[in-house]
Amino acid sequence: MGRQPCCDKLVVKKGPWTAEEDKKLINFILTNGHCCWRALPKLAGLRRCGKSCRLRWTNYLRPDLKRGLLSHDEEQLVIDLHAHLGNKWSKIASRLPGRTDNEIKNHWNTHIKKKLVKMGIDPMTHQPLNQEPNNTNNPQSLSSTSDDISMKPRSGSTKETNGTLTEDESSSTVTGQNNSTDNENHLLSNIYNDEELFSHLWSDETTTAEAPWSDSNDGFGGTLYHHDNNMSGAGADFPIWSPEGINGNDWTFLDYCQDFGVHDFGF
C-alpha cells in the first residue's frame, strides 16, 4: 500500500510560479504565518500543492534570502562543510545565512564540483583524483589553477562513507595548495578548529543560524527583525519590517516585490 498523494494532481497547478501566485503566497504567510502547508494553498486561494508552496517560500520568496552568486568565502565554506558533512545541504545551508539548501546544492553541482574536478580533486571524497599513477588527465591541476578555491589542510579530516562521516586521521593529503588569502584562512581556521561546531552540526540541535521562519513565527503578524548577529554580511542589509506597516496593511513593499523581485532589495 503506497502513500497517498499529497494533493490531487489533477487539480493542482505545476510549473513556474506567476507573480500573482507569489503575491498571494506572500500575503497569506505574512498575515497568517504557515500553520500547515497542506492547508495553506486552499486558504491562500492557490491551486498549488502545499509542498510546492513551501518550496517556493523557502527557496525563493523568504525575505531573508540573499541572492546572487556565492562569494568566495561562502564557496570555500561550502567546500569545507561538504568535506565534513557530505551532501547534507540543509546542514550546510544552516551555516550560510540567507542561503538555501537548494541554492547551495545547485551551486555545488554547477560550479564547485567542476572547479574541484578541474583542480584534480574528487568532489565527493575531497581527495586528489590522480592518486593512481595512470591518472594524467590534469597534471597541473594541483599547482596552477585559474580559480583559487583550494582545499585546506586540517588536522583530523573526515570523509563520507555511505552517508556517514568517519574519522580519517591520515587523509590530509590535499595539502600544498594553499594559495588563498589570509582572510579565507582566518575564516576557515575558525571552522577547522571548531570541533564544537561540527559536533553541533551533527547533533539534532538547532543551529544558531537556522532561519526563524519555520514554526517560530507563529503569530508572525508581519514582524521581521534581525534575528542573528551572524548576518553581518547579508543580514546587515536586511530590511526590518515594522509591525506598524504590516498591521496598517501597508503592502507597498509587496508591489515592489512583484515588480522587481524581493531579492532585488537585498533581502
Partner DNA sequence: AAAGGGTACAACCGCGGTACA
Partner DNA sequence: CTGTACCGCGGTTGTACCCTT
Q: What is the binding site for DNA (CB under 7 A)? A: 1, 3-4, 6, 9, 13-17, 36-38, 49-52, 54-56, 59-60, 69, 87-91, 101-103, 105-107, 109-111, 114, 204, 214-215
CA dist 134 and 174 (Å) reads: 19
Give the Cα separation of 267 and 265 in Å (integer): 5
Residue type, 90: S
User: Least distance to DNA from the beta carbon of 182, Å?
Assistant: 28
Our CB check for DNA shows the closer of 109 and 175 to be 109
Q: Which is nearer to DNA, 50 or 97 (CB)?
A: 50
CB of 127: closest distance to DNA in angstroms?
A: 18
Q: Which residue spans within the chain are E strands per DSSP? A: 158-161, 164-167
64: closest CA among 246, 260, 209, 221? 209
Rounded CA gap, 41 and 17, in Å? 13
CB 144 within 8 A of CB 156: no
- Determine the distance from the C-alpha atom of residue 149 to the mean position of all C-alpha atoms in its chain, rounded to a whole number: 19
Nearer to DNA, 162 or 170 (CB): 162
Smallest separation (angstroms) from DNA to the CB of 232: 23
Phi, psi at residue 41, to the nearest 5°? -55, -40
**What is the spatial distance between Cα 77 and Cα 185, in angstroms, rounded to a whole number?**
11
Nearest to DNA of 212, 245 (CB atom): 212
Distance CA 207, CA 94 (A): 7
* Minimum separation from the CB atom of position 218 to DNA (A): 12
Are 97 and 227 within 8 A, CB to CB? no
Q: How far is the CB of 43 from DNA (least distance, A)?
A: 12
What minimum distance in Å lies between the beta carbon of 185 and DNA? 26
CB of 147 to DNA, least distance (A): 12
Q: Which is nearer to DNA, 90 or 230 (CB)?
A: 90
Cβ closest to DNA, residue 85 vs residue 121: 85
d(C-alpha 101, C-alpha 224), whole Å: 21
Nearer Cβ to DNA (100/177): 100
